[in-house]
Amino acid sequence: MASPSTNIGDMANPERMGGIAQLAEELGYDSLWVADHVVMADPSPRMSPTLPILDPLLSLVWLAAHTRTVQLATGIVILPQRQPVVLAKQLSTLDVLFRRGG
């Protein structure tokens, strides 16, 4: 089953992620989104506990390296799992490295 997020399941593959970023840009899409989950709290048949889930921030860096115009975002960042100052530094660094029309 295809994932709605570019860092989960079938898309948790560098070649696919880069390819979908480039295709999204070619087709004129506005944005690509990633999700932040270490594990799924209530796995269902469509979300196996062995489903690959890549880190969202590193996934954004990879996507940004493969596109120039597509906006990038997280659908969610689970703050209790992250140190706020480090997260702020990571996101501001991502913004500086890959300016996206802000």
Backbone angles phi, psi at 89, to 5 degrees: -65, -45
| C-alpha dihedral sign at 19, 46, 49, 74 | positive
Q: Is the pTM of this model over 0.85?
A: no
pLDDT band per the 50, 70, 90 thresholds, residue 2:
very low
Q: Which helix (H) or strand (E) holds 33?
A: strand 31-34
pLDDT by residue (tens digit) across 9-56?
Answer: 888 999 999 999 999 999 999 999 998 876 666 655 566 777 788 999
